[in-house]
Amino acid sequence: MTASSYDYDALFQQALDGLKADGSYRHFADLERRAGHFPRAFHHGLGREVTVWCSNDYLGMGQHPAVLAAMHESLDRSGAGAGGTRNISGTNHEHVALERELADLHGKEAALLFNSGYLSNWATLGTIAARIKGCVVLSDEANHASMIEGIRHSRAEKQVFRHNDPVDLEARLKALPLDAPKIVAFESVYSMDGDIAPIEAFCDLADKYGAMTYLDEVHAVGLYGHQGGGVAEQLGLAHRLTVIEGTLGKGFGVVGGYISGSAALCDFVRSFASGFIFSTALPPMVAAGALASIRYLRASQEERRLHKDRVAYLRARLDEAGIPHLVNPSHIVPVMVGEAVRCRGLSDELLARFGHYIQPINYPTVARGTERLRITPGPLHSRADIDDLVGALATLWKEQGMAAAAA
Ligand code: PMP
């Protein structure tokens, strides 16, 4: 018998051609961030400096002197890597200190670090749903892929409720046996539309029906709340959530993810989650940088104040220019284009002609027909930068005959 002779590369290419045909193939910008120059970066494809408008380093902490100093100091003291998984020699003092800080930030007994926010969602939801016998997961329909994949991996029963809809959530909770263990999983700030969950209403329902609550604050930590503890902190609700999950890679500017919750819950995930147990721990310098970032943002209000100012200013200028954008209560400014090829075209023109980099957001990240330019202005964009961007957008809007928003 001879082995079948598949042309495997042709199979891969066929799948990629499908993406290219519908405009959802991803092109990566080859950027070089230069410490001290954010939001400017060198674009190697273009061979010039550009202004970045789509970074999730929302507050510019990835280049903050306090963070860089802590990382340099830790690198020189401890070296590059952690030396192992957390269980086998990889728990460095920096990890322990960071977990203490995160628990304190969210007013919880404990916290547990992961190598990314993706992994923290995947591993925690996957482990709770799989290991707590009969657990039913109630998941907001707009939840991030990391939560969806974790829940799927657990093979637990899942109920998907309508986005941000307490009425639908209650109907589903009511239909489940009162004594079944349950977990309600949702986000605070949704990354693409920038809307915010009705956290208190969800907590009330969870209490009424005896469910745990799992809140992803990835797009909120560092940015919301007096100490940067997220929307739950801002609303005084942190104590009502069973788990608050976050990232160290966005508002805090470094990399890594975490959960915070009761000591028993964190110990349980630490002890059973393979995505935590069997992976080399984050480098100590990463933990040291994140710790410096969190401590800095707990004490300083200036970055959050400037951030709000820039977001409000961008919205006002877009309104004046008649450029349609989604109105929401957060810092995310989605300029709606509504068609994949046009969205990519606008992004290309903005970059090539005006030096503004905004990655187009297409299906499957957002639904077809809602393709957009997702703008995340930060404290390091000046008002003049914003004027320049809106001027460029207005020129392209006019040239391409795109509909203006109603005044
Ligand atoms: N949750 C949400 C809502 C996200 O948008 C993301 C990343 N974009 C993650 C989790 C994953 O976080 P990280 O980037 O730290 O892996």
Mean pLDDT over 313-326 rounds to 97
363 shares a domain with 279: no
CA of 247, closest atom in ligand 1: 15
Is pLDDT of 23 > 90? no
Ligand 1 pocket: which of 218, 243, 282, 365 to mutate (most atoms within 8 A of CB) = 218
Is pLDDT of 354 > 80? yes
Which residues are 261's β-sheet partners?
110
CATH number of residue 353's parent domain = 3.90.1150.10
pLDDT grade for 1, boundaries at 50, 70 and 90: low
248 shares a domain with 124: yes
229 shares a domain with 158: yes
Please give the distance, rounded to the nearest whole angstrom, from the Cα atom of residue 56 to the centre of ligand 1: 10
Please give the distance, rounded to the nearest whole angstrom, from the Cα atom of residue 190 to the centre of ligand 1: 10
Closest Cα to atom 5 of ligand 1:
191
User: What domain range is 372 assigned to?
Assistant: 38-62+303-400
Is pLDDT of 275 > 80? yes
pLDDT tens digits for range 51-73 = 999 999 999 999 999 999 999 99
State ipTM: 0.99
SS3 state of residue 34: coil
Q: Percentage of the chain surpassing pLDDT 90?
A: 92
143 contacts 183 by C-beta, under 8 angstroms: no
Res 302: pLDDT:
98
348 shares a domain with 325: yes
218 shares a domain with 153: yes
214 contacts 242 by C-beta, under 8 angstroms: yes
Is 182 a domain residue? Answer: yes
391 shares a domain with 312: yes
Res 20: pLDDT:
87
Is 176 a domain residue? Answer: yes
150 shares a domain with 226: yes
Res 405: pLDDT:
74
Res 340: pLDDT:
85
85 shares a domain with 53: no
Is 8 a domain residue? Answer: no
370 shares a domain with 290: no
268 shares a domain with 151: yes
CA of 121, closest atom in ligand 1: 10
- Give the binding-site residues of ligand 1, using a 6 Å CB cut-off: 116-118, 121, 144, 146, 187, 191, 216, 218-219, 247, 249, 257
Catalytic residue status for 250 = yes
How is residue 33 written in tokens?
A: 């961030």
325 shares a domain with 196: no
Ligand 1 pocket: which of 58, 61, 113, 118 to mutate (most atoms within 8 A of CB) = 118
Catalytic position from the list 108, 182, 208, 250 = 250
pLDDT tens digits for range 217-228 = 999 999 999 999
Closest Cα to atom 3 of ligand 1:
144
Please give the distance, rounded to the nearest whole angstrom, from the Cα atom of residue 178 to the centre of ligand 1: 32
pLDDT tens digits for range 118-168 = 999 999 999 999 999 999 999 999 999 999 999 999 999 999 999 999 999
Contacts of 225 (CB under 8 A, 6+ apart): 231, 232, 233, 234
Is pLDDT of 24 > 80? no
pLDDT tens digits for range 202-213 = 999 999 999 999
pLDDT grade for 5, boundaries at 50, 70 and 90: confident
Contacts of 13 (CB under 8 A, 6+ apart): none
Q: How many domains are contained in the chain?
A: 2
Is pLDDT of 243 > 60? yes
| Rounded-to-integer distance, Cα 337 and Cα 347, Å | 11
Is 12 a domain residue? Answer: no
CA of 248, closest atom in ligand 1: 15
Please give the distance, rounded to the nearest whole angstrom, from the Cα atom of residue 118 to the centre of ligand 1: 5
Pairing mode, if any, of strands 40-43 and 212-216?
unpaired
Last residue of a domain, one of 299, 333, 361: 299
Res 263: pLDDT:
98
CA of 256, closest atom in ligand 1: 15
Last residue of a domain, one of 260, 281, 299: 299
Res 306: pLDDT:
98
168 shares a domain with 102: yes
pLDDT tens digits for range 330-349 = 999 999 999 888 999 999 99
Please give the distance, rounded to the nearest whole angstrom, from the Cα atom of residue 384 to the centre of ligand 1: 30
Closest Cα to atom 13 of ligand 1:
117
How high is the mean pLDDT of the chain? 96
Res 129: pLDDT:
98
Please give the distance, rounded to the nearest whole angstrom, from the Cα atom of residue 119 to the centre of ligand 1: 9
Is 254 a domain residue? Answer: yes
Is 69 a domain residue? Answer: no
| Rounded-to-integer distance, Cα 394 and Cα 402, Å | 10
Answer yes or no: pTM beyond 0.90: yes
Last residue of a domain, one of 299, 319, 336: 299
